[in-house]
Amino acid sequence: MGDRPAELGRALQSLHDQDGDPIEVVVVGNGSDVSDLPPGVRFLRLPENVGIPAGRNAGAAETTGDLLLFLDDDGWLSQRGTAERIRAAFAGDPRLGVVSLRIVDPDTGETQRRHVPRLRVGDPLRSSAVTTFLGGASVVRRQAFEQAGGLPDAFFFAHEETDLAWRVLDHGWDIRYDAGAVMCHPATSPARHDVYFRLNARNRVWLARRNLPLPLVPLYLGVWVLLTVARNRDAHALRTWCRGFLEGWRTEPGPRRPIGWGTVWRMTRLGRPPVI
């Protein structure tokens, strides 16, 4: 958005300082201009703010590498060997489709539990196979990204990486949470965004309608309605969430390509069946 120049500079410096081959870097201006970029960094300006997934898709299309690193502008790689670690992981496992990095609060050194993409979080320092990933701190194999159709542009914000993750899994790729690959990011809440509650609910419905076998759609959404009501005591937030939930049914979610029952079983064995 062009409103965090210092943070962006820190993020870019952390990429420049990585060991191994230089990283091809494209900065996407989502409806904004960005000035004073370092030499060798390409800039792609989009005419308007098209949202997170469409912005990432546009940036990915401008690059040529086999691996796509998505890094939020207020995050940075604190360890010089992270890129080489991830390259080695992909080189050593031809079925590895996505690596989700561990997000650490730079002030406390702690990993927020909500940033660990497991239903049963356990020890955040334990790596494991998972069924989803953190979009702004992830590396995706280009072949898996393209085979799954990229991120869903229309989502704008919220659940776009889960949509991609389910389709990546359905194409037979693996997703891994690598606790040793660290991204630093200030501890924040997604609810800080004005559109959070509406888009969170709308996109949850779209996610189910696009990707789940029909019998699982009401089960998945029913569980999330109950969880949302149980967790939230803010009446305004709940009303906004309900409006978004209805919007998800009244609007088109995009092409429907339900995952197979084999993928459902695989996700269940990994500890997170697609009902929660």
The answer to whether 160 and 119 have CB atoms below 8 angstroms apart is no
Looking at the structure, tell me whether residues 177 and 197 fall in a common domain.
no
Looking at the structure, tell me whether residues 83 and 200 fall in a common domain.
no
Question: How many separate domains does the chain show?
Answer: 2
Residue 16: phi and psi, rounded to 5, are -60, -35
CATH number at residue 177: 3.90.550.10
Choice between 192 and 154, residue whose per-residue pLDDT is larger: 154
Does residue 192 register a pLDDT over 60? no
What's the pTM?
0.95
pLDDT score at 232: 87
At 190, the pLDDT band (50, 70, 90 cuts) reads low
In a domain? residue 272:
no
Does residue 194 register a pLDDT over 90? no
Looking at the structure, tell me whether residues 209 and 107 fall in a common domain.
no
Mean pLDDT, residues 71-78: 96
Strand duo 67-71 + 128-129: pairing: unpaired
Residue 85 belongs to what domain range?
A: 5-188
Looking at the structure, tell me whether residues 141 and 38 fall in a common domain.
yes
At 189, the pLDDT band (50, 70, 90 cuts) reads low
In this structure, which amino acid lies at residue 93?
D
In a domain? residue 162:
yes
pLDDT score at 261: 98
Looking at the structure, tell me whether residues 117 and 227 fall in a common domain.
no
SS3 212: coil
